[in-house]
Amino acid sequence: MSSKYKIRCPCGKVVHYDKQLDVWIHEDDTVCEPLASYNLEKQTLNSYKAFDILSKKPDKDDVVRIIDNLVESTPDISDLHNIVGGIILPLKAEDKLPILNPEYLAIAELFGGLLKRVFNIDIPLIKHIDMTYNRKIKQIIEIITNKQEALKKGILKEFIQLLIKISRI
């Protein structure tokens, strides 16, 4: 994988892929639950290997393809860690596409809303939002929120919040 992109685990640490072991590991060799779950269960993701996109610069099409697969397959709970890992990690990649940067999207949405409410100003902050992408995100929110058990996992709650916020843009 190109060192140009830093890939982060949901816990925030930078990860890299060890070819020999065929696992993703933290740069400091520690482990955490989401990453361990991903490494254990990654092969179960059926038709599209989400983490494959980590080997190149992730783009919007990659995310749409992952979401398409998820919508079609309606994964069971055991796959949810994969979904989370498969989407959050690419989203956290330090790429230059605003559409793939959740923090950017969140700030843009919140800041734009604040300016509107307080100062009565419309500032077009982001201009090219793909509606298909947005619709797909809504679908995945529905699927995941229907899995009540999954909500017990803190990271899923966070992920759902993230998707809800992104989908509002």
Are the CB atoms for 72 and 109 separated by under 8 Å? no
101 near other proteins, rule: CB under 8 A: yes
Among 122, 131, 148, 152, binds other proteins (CB under 8 A): 122
The least distance separating other proteins from the CB of residue 49, rounded to whole angstroms, comes to 27
Are the CB atoms for 161 and 90 separated by under 8 Å? no
- Residue 16 pairs in a beta bridge with 25
Are the CB atoms for 9 and 15 separated by under 8 Å? yes
Q: Smaller CB distance to other proteins: residue 17 or 104?
A: 104
Among 44, 47, 55, 161, binds other proteins (CB under 8 A): 161
Q: Which run of H or of E encompasses 8?
A: strand 7-8
Q: Smaller CB distance to other proteins: residue 78 or 134?
A: 134
CA distances from 128 to 97, 131, 132, 134 (A): 11, 9, 12, 11
Angle among Cα 105, 10, 59 to the nearest 5 degrees reads: 50
151 near other proteins, rule: CB under 8 A: no
Among 118, 131, 148, 149, binds other proteins (CB under 8 A): 118
What is the x/- site pattern for other proteins, positions 5-24, by CB under 8 A? -------x------------
Q: Smaller CB distance to other proteins: residue 36 or 106?
A: 106
* Strand pairing category for 7-8 and 14-18: antiparallel
133 near other proteins, rule: CB under 8 A: no
Part in contact with other proteins (CB under 8 A); list of ranges 40-48, 52-60, 117-125, 134-142? 117-125
Among 18, 22, 76, 158, binds other proteins (CB under 8 A): 158
Are the CB atoms for 108 and 116 separated by under 8 Å? no
Radius of gyration of the chain from its Cα atoms, rounded to whole angstroms: 16
